[in-house]
Amino acid sequence: MFNNLEEINSRPEPFQFYTADSLWTDNHTSKQMLDYHLNESVDLSSRNKNFIERSAQWIASKITINQEFSICDFGCAPGLYTTRFAKQKAQVTGIDFSERSIKYAKETADQNGLKIDYILKSYLEFETDKKYDLITMIMCDFCALSPDQRKLILNKFYDFLNIGGSVLLDVYSLISFKQREEIASYEFNQLNNFWSSENYYCFLNTFKYDNEKVILDKYTIIEKERTRTVYNWLQYFSIESLTKEFEKNGFKVEEFFSDVAGKSLDSESSEFAVIVTKK
C-alpha cells in the first residue's frame, strides 16, 4: 500500500506522459465530455452559448469570412464553431479525435444543410494538401501540448496556411498560473462518476512547475478491476513567451486580445488570445 501511495503522489517531469486519448476517446469519458460541450450554460469543455455566439460573430467580422474563405478548426469537438463558420458560407474543415463528438458534429451539419469536412483524427497526426485562410484552436488547446508538440503543430499551421493566412488561438496567462496551488486529495466517484460508470476512488495531485510555468493535474482512478492515471498538462504563457514561439516558427504576431470574442487586452486577464499571420 505504501509503495502504491508513493507512486500516486509522485511528481513526473513536465510533459513526461501524454494521455489525452484516454480522456477524449474512452467510451465513458467521451460521453461526459460531450455532455459538458453541449451544456450551454457553463464554461467547461466549451464556453457558454452566449460567448460562443459573440465569439463566432467577432471572428467573422474581424477576419472577413465569406464563401471563398477556407477555415480549419483544430480540436473542433461537436462543431460549435465550425457550424457557425459554415453558416457564414465559409469552406470549413473540423478535426477532432473524439468519435462521439465528430458523430454529433456531422449530424448537426446534416440537420442544418451545411457542407463541413469533418476528420476523425488527432490533429498532431493530421496531414493535408489543402491550404486554409484561417486556422483556429480555441479553448486553450494549445496549452495542453508539450514544447515538442507545439513546435510540430506550429509547423503544420505554417504548411497548411495560404500566404497571409491567419491563426487564431487562446492560451492561459501567467496571472492564471499564479492563482493555481498544489493540492493532493481523493474522492469517491469524483465529479459524479465522470471517470467511470462503476464505483471508483480518484486521487487528484496538482503539481506546479514554477520554472516551466506548467501545471499538472494528475488523476489516479482506482476501480475494482483496474487502476489508471490521466495526466492533464497545461502550459501558461506571457505575451512575450507566446510571441517568441510564433516568431521562431515564421509567423508575424498581429494583435492580442483578452479572449476570442475580441475583448481588449487586459494585463489581469486569466487568458488571452492572439492573431498571427504567415509571412
Q: Residue for cell digits 451545411?
A: 114
Q: Cα 214–219–222 angle (5° rounding)?
A: 165
13 secondary structure, DSSP code = P
Measured CA distances, 216 to 12, 15, 170, 197, 208 (Å): 9, 8, 19, 25, 7
CB atoms within 10 A of CB 224: 9
pLDDT of residue 47: 67
Contact 43, 139 (CB under 8 A): no
57 phi-psi bin (left φ>0, alpha ψ -120 to 50, beta other): alpha
pLDDT of residue 64: 87
Residues of the chain with CATH 3.40.50.150: 39-172+236-278
Which residue reads 440537420 in cell numbers?
A: 111
At residue 77, the 3 state secondary structure works out as: coil
pLDDT in tens, 14-64: 999 999 877 777 888 888 887 776 775 544 445 688 899 999 999 999 998
Q: Work out the angle at residue 67's Cα, subtended by the Cα atoms of residues 62 and 73, and round it to the nearest 5 degrees.
A: 65
Instruction: Determine the pLDDT at residue 154.
Output: 98
pLDDT along the chain (279 residues), means of 10: 95 96 79 73 61 95 90 96 95 95 96 97 96 97 98 98 97 98 96 93 98 98 95 98 98 98 96 96
Q: 21: buried, middle or exposed (CB in 10 Å: 19+, 13-18, 0-12)?
A: exposed
- What pLDDT is stored for residue 56 in this prediction? 95
Cα separation of 269 and 171, whole Å? 11
- Answer yes or no: are the C-beta atoms of 229 and 217 closer than 8 Å: no
Q: What is the pTM of this model?
A: 0.93
- The answer to whether 215 touches 206, Cβ cutoff 8 Å, is yes
Q: Quick one: pLDDT at residue 8? A: 97
Smallest CA-to-CA distance from 161 within 143, 124, 140, 136 is with 136
DSSP string, 104-136: HHHHHHHHTT--EEEEES-TTT---S--EEEEE
| One-letter amino acid for residue 145 of the chain | L
- Tell me: domain 39-172+236-278, CATH 3.40.50.150, correct? yes
Query: Under a CB-based contact definition with an 8 Å cutoff, are residues 188 and 158 in contact?
Result: no
